[in-house]
Amino acid sequence: MSPEVWYVSYGSNMCRDRLGAYLLGGQPVGARQTYAGARTPSMPTADAAVDLPGRLYFAGESSTWTGGVAFYDHDATGSWTAARAYRITAEQFADVAAQEMDRLPAPGDPIERLVIDGLENGRHEAGPGHYETLIEVGRRDGLPMLTFTAPHGFDAVPHTQPAPAYVAMLVRGLHEARGWDRARAEAYVRERCG
């Protein structure tokens, strides 16, 4: 069995059903894409709301939602990002990452080995695209907490507005993870949209 890690989401995967499409397969509500699911289809064994140092921002164009894509700049100072950590296996983390990178989950994915061995200096760039930069953002219960983002930071790209369906998924995830009501969750997203 693959060792466990904490996958930390700051975007639409804060919504448990949305993450379920990556783990179990399927099409999330409001999305234009259907996902294969993980090689070992099961939901997380635990989850927790977490605060990350650094900044959430929206850039580019989502092929799944249209509109801007949520990214996380771990190196930005003076801000924080609401997130949700899920306890899953390293294999499942690699499978979620693969689908975020527009690939199918496959045995021998090098990301799984990287996660098991540990990220050198807490960071690894698997490629130049969306969600191809892996970052260790801390530890919980002795396990690494990992997320992925783009290689660019907050100040390096033009910012774009997220689509309403994407915002709705973020709002739902913030409610599930933190108990925030709709007004508070929407205000948080609007603030990060600039």
How far is 85 from 71, CA to CA, in rounded Å?
16
Query: Dmax of the chain from CA atoms?
Result: 44
What share of the chain in percent tops pLDDT 70? 100
Q: How many domains does the chain have?
A: 1
Instruction: Give the pLDDT score at 129.
Output: 76
Q: What is the pLDDT of residue 4?
A: 97
pLDDT at 194 over 80: no
pLDDT of residue 51: 98
Per-residue confidence (pLDDT) for residue 68, from 0 to 100: 95
Which CATH number do you get for residue 71?
3.10.490.10
The answer to whether the CB of 130 falls within 8 A of the CB of 150 is yes
Reported as a pLDDT band with limits 50, 70 and 90, residue 128 is confident
Q: Give the residue with greater pLDDT, 73 vs 2.
A: 73
| Predicted local distance difference test score (pLDDT) of residue 32 | 86
Confidence of residue 2 (pLDDT cuts 50, 70, 90): confident
Contact criterion met (CB below 8 Å) for 156 and 17 = no
What are 135-158's pLDDT values in tens digits?
Answer: 999 999 999 999 999 998 999 999
The whole-model pTM stands at: 0.95
By mean pLDDT, which of 37-41, 98-102, 141-145 is the weakest?
98-102
Domain that holds residue 179: 4-193
How far apart CA 107 and CA 139 sit, in angstroms, is 26
The encoded tokens of residue 135 equal 């970052």
At residue 21, the 3 state secondary structure works out as helix
pLDDT of residue 146: 98
